[in-house]
Structure 1
């Protein structure tokens, strides 16, 4: 991970309100699929209303624009793919934030309808997408977050080599106080955990479980917890239940309840997998208790950690017995 990425990760944005106020100016009309040249012509025409977050209207300056957050299922196909591809990188790198938003939405359209056409450009698109994720203007940042989710859904493990800078920014955005940006980032992280294979993703997530920012740790823990079950029983055994139980145990005493809850959920999953696989392998053993979950925990963890893990899993088991 680069030095810049680490610096971004360890510093949450602190000027959201100030930046939000400054975002209400210099609006221009988006191109809605048109070329950059057409947008520049449209900027000279009559102003239009701007709708942000489902209907809020902002009118600041001579020119205003229509900014809309479009759900993936409501995006339309692109009529002229070649022209869109030609103008994609200049649009993403534009100093005009409305052009950037339109280019981001075009990245989303290409990911959904023409992913093969854009695949060779990903190495150039991803750094500009990260740049937009860092943008203090909410319209750009949220659209970039939505773009990240669509890219995950389209390219899956093809993104693994350039995942780190995206992951850093999404963890940051999912940990901030601006609710609608935070919620969008959480959805993007969920898209990541369901699209990228766990064998590739888990090693990427693990360093963030020890980040000094507790919110970052919490979001990373939740992603880690969601990814592990996708390994399946054999995948979990291959990855190493001992490694995974150590990760989960370390999160049980974390500062935020989201981390602790994710750890508890993961431990119950690991217990189920361990006991199923152990029952099969020791069914004919004279002393199957020697390979019990309790003994396994005590052999792989420190006494205090093993006690905490067993407390969680035993309470859950007792609850199931009482409930039945």
Structure 2
């Protein structure tokens, strides 16, 4: 992983303050007579003015975002309406050659509407003509990352949707360009702007669904130690989703002991999402371990306790970590038995 990627993550504050009124979908009550409160109200109004408002999906299932008109080309104001089209509703490009020739220029444009249009062309090419973009995929992903950093929500969300389609189409072909893309998606999934956050989470799900877990897990692991708890939580959830895709033989080849150590480190994490992901992963690993245990070996046959999950954890983890792992897996298993 590049140092710049981790540097970008570490600049994010450990706690991002949520605006209570926006999280509840309502505006704050008017403030009267208090200078400090009046300042806060003006700050909130400026934030609301600068933020785009999400409009419900239209009859065709397309989300529309209304922004203030800010772009003028040749004296003509560009339409401020940007459509968010789901992947299944995207049509093929009309002119393949023209799209391929202009795609990089469009993505580099300073016209945010043109950038959004170009991102949607990338999505169409990924779906209908993915082979034609292979030679320029690295450059395309670099410009998608640039759009992910764009402060305008319309550009950012369209870039997130583009990332999901790229994961779906190119799988392991994107692994060399994944670091900056992964960094930005983790950042966006950890912020407070709900519709951007939800789109980023869907893109991360697409990543863990379509990118080879053998290649993806080493990319995710450094984020599990990031100083921002939200980043750690999102990375833990991605890690938990990726491991089962290895399959029993893949988990054994990767190393159950290494995976148990990673999961154990997340059990004491600050956020419940991290801890829950760790518990889920540990149960998966316990099941794989017990299924793969070779009971025909002399050592295990003569000394069954040597092959137990408890002995395995105690031999691979520190005493405190082993105790935490066994507490989680035993309690959960006992609960399943009692509830069955």
TM interval, short-chain normalised: 0.7 to 0.9
1:323 alignment counterpart: 339
> How far apart are residue 20 of structure 1 and its match?
7.2
Task: Kindly indicate whether residue 187 of structure 2 is the aligned counterpart of residue 172 of structure 1.
Answer: yes
User: Structure 1: any 5+ residue segments left out of the alignment?
Assistant: 25-52
2:10 maps to what in 1? Answer: 10
For the residue of structure 2 that corresponds to 1:68, the secondary structure is strand
- Asked if structure 1 preserves the Cα contact closer than 8 Å seen for 2:160 and 2:199, the reply is yes
**Shift in alpha-carbon separation, 1:57–1:210, aligned structure 2, 3 A:** closer
- 1:309 and 2:329 aligned: no
Q: For each residue in 1:89-110, what CA deviation from the matched residue of structure 2 results, as whole angstroms up to 9, or x when unmatched?
A: 0000000000000000000000
1:34 match: none
Q: Distance in 2 between matches of 1:189 and 1:56?
A: 22
Contact 1:12/1:176 (8 A) holds in 2: no
Out of 97, 113, 130, the residue aligned to residue 98 of structure 1 is 113
Structure 2 residue runs without a partner (length 5+): 19-43, 53-61, 71-76
Counterpart residue number, 2:242? 227
The separation in 2 between residues aligned to 1:108 and 1:73, in whole angstroms, is 11
For residues 205 and 122 of structure 1, do their structure 2 counterparts lie closer, same or farther at Cα, with a shift above 3 Å needed? same
Name the structure 2 match of 1:236: 251
Contact 2:189 / 2:198 at 8 angstroms: preserved in 1?
Answer: yes
TM-score when normalising by structure 2: 0.82
| Pairs aligned (count) | 296
Q: Secondary structure at the match of 1:208?
A: helix
- Say yes or no: does 1:116 pair with 2:131: yes
- Deviation by residue 1:134-178 (Cα, 9 ceiling, x = unmatched): 000000000000000000000000000110000000000000000
Distance 1:127 1:282 in 2: 52
Q: Tell which deviates more after alignment, 264-273 or 10-19.
A: 10-19
Cα distance in structure 2, aligned partners of 1:127 and 1:56:
25
- 1:54 CA drift (Å): 3.4
Cα distance, 1:23–1:88 mapped onto 2, change above 3 Å: farther
- Which residue in 1 is equivalent to 2:212? 197
1:79 positional shift: 1.4
- Cα deviation for residue 2 of structure 1 reads 3.0
Match of 2:82? 67
Contact 1:198 1:231 (8 Å CA) reproduced: yes
SS of 1:246's equivalent in the other structure is: helix
Quick one: which of 299, 306, 313 aligns to 2:315?
Answer: 299
Residue 279 of structure 2, aligned match among 249, 264, 270:
264
1:204-236 CA-to-partner distances (Å, cap 9, x unmatched) read 000000000000000000000000000111110
Shift in CA distance, 236/257, structure 1 to aligned 2, threshold 3 Å? same
Displacement, 1:279? Answer: 4.9
1:20/1:136 contact within 8 Å kept: no
Are residues 121 and 23 of structure 1, via their aligned partners in 2, closer, same or farther at CA, if it must alter by over 3 Å?
farther
The Cα shift of 1:307 comes to 0.4
Tell me the CA shift for residue 123 of structure 1: 1.7
CA separation of 1:177 and 1:235: change in aligned 2, threshold 3 A: same
Is 1:54 the equivalent of 2:63? yes
Structure 2 residue 224 is the aligned partner of structure 1 residue 209: yes
Specify which of 96, 105, 130 is matched with residue 145 of structure 2. 130
